Amino acid sequence: MRHKRGFYIIAAAVIAIEIFLFSSRPIPQQIPKIPGMDKIFHFIVYAALSSAIFGSIIKGKNNHNKALFISIFLAVLYGLSDEFHQSFVPGRECSAYDLLVDSIGAVIGALVSKEYKFKL
């Protein structure tokens, strides 16, 4: 159990760092835009983040709901801070729609993780 927890802590940290690094750069103009692709990316990344957070805080079989709430809260809070951060990056903006997609991804990621953990 301890080794798995360490894996999830590292995974959450790596995902958070990658989000920060990626959102710190202006969007290159030469990349062709595929409609909706950025929202899919937001959804997947924040689902992975909340899932990793869930895995890092789960203990036994008794705190699944608490871990679910905390993992969603932390992932959404990180999404909010990232959107605020992007408002200072040239070529990027703070987007409520992106935060909504981040939040939906966080909820789905945590719920899937909770279901998966109950099956173990």
Taking the model in full, what pTM does it have?
Answer: 0.89
Structure tokens at 4: 């798995």
Structure tokens at 55: 């895995």
- The whole-number average pLDDT for the span 21-43 is 81
pLDDT tens, residue by residue, 61-81? 667 889 999 999 999 999 999
pLDDT tens, residue by residue, 87-118? 999 988 899 999 999 999 999 999 999 888 75
